Chain A
């Protein structure tokens, strides 16, 4: 087989041949090849992260009607490098009375929990880290580690505002995990597997899952934005709100790790939206040429990331109690109703052929969306009446 059909296997075979010809034992060569693969994947993710700094700054500038970085390199492409140099040469301050070990581990764990996610992302039909059969739950588990790192950062900073911001951020993150897990169950039901490779494979031929369940895609997007801690749900780390929340006491490259982790996390969730709902690496000629599949995947993930940025720079911030009320009173009931409807539709229409299945799923989603909008309309109508009706003033 030539290189373009299966690049990873060709590279792996060549590596094993070279290492064993140097006299190494087969098992040791295997371990070294695996370690090199891990290093390669992490390096690719981190290089992507560097370019994401430029993407973020250009996109926010265009949304705000200005140009963005355009001095360093053509179109400002080399802007991330001065940013990184600035972060590295800053003074590394540890606040007085901080818990030094926990304070230093928190940013590493925060970035680490995002890198862990890249082990299960299927970049192409043959390019992926590993094929876990519980990959979607692994996604939630890595999110849990990220939550842990936030509370470690907030506590170890020895600062009231950091602790308060960390409490609120963690409360918001664990609350929004529930609609996210339910939104992750929708592609599981449709594909019949928790493995991301199987979910991508069952979207072949243009049957992308967001056609089957648009409400599921929207639900995943909203709960993913809340999980990321990005606007409009970033009350806990906005500079004008709580003085950057749990980021306050971090300077220099430690803050750089938090910042880079947040950008990469957003891009990874764009990637997961692409895998779960928009067909992953599928596209014209993608099954024969895995590298083309990887290119399609990165393009779709970039589109998902752009949607997340679009929401961030357009919608104003939501207060913490409104955020939690939004989750518990609106998002969780809608999520569970969607799960019940999807499960019932799937089990009723499973054997009925493609068109009844597709139309049944699509219209059950539309029905649920319409019912939700009607309930919302009635509730807001009642609230508006309660506010606008003039109170009868007691006349004598």
Chain B
């Protein structure tokens, strides 16, 4: 039998690794990859709370499915934005996209 704490610590670790990736990576696509890690950590949390709580109501799984849909929408829009920035400025390094700063 697996206690709930194992799942929660795993998702906390995955979330922290994703957070590290977002703060540290230079390439914009790599930042989005790390955001995906954080979303997966949240999903693991939701589904394990569904399983270890009230499995009669499907709230946890429905919430996880909505998170799937939102993640897909966000990745689609984010990647198309990155692609159009690349077409314009010819670079996707986040440090170099600072047009509004002097």
Direct contact of A and B (CB under 8 A): no
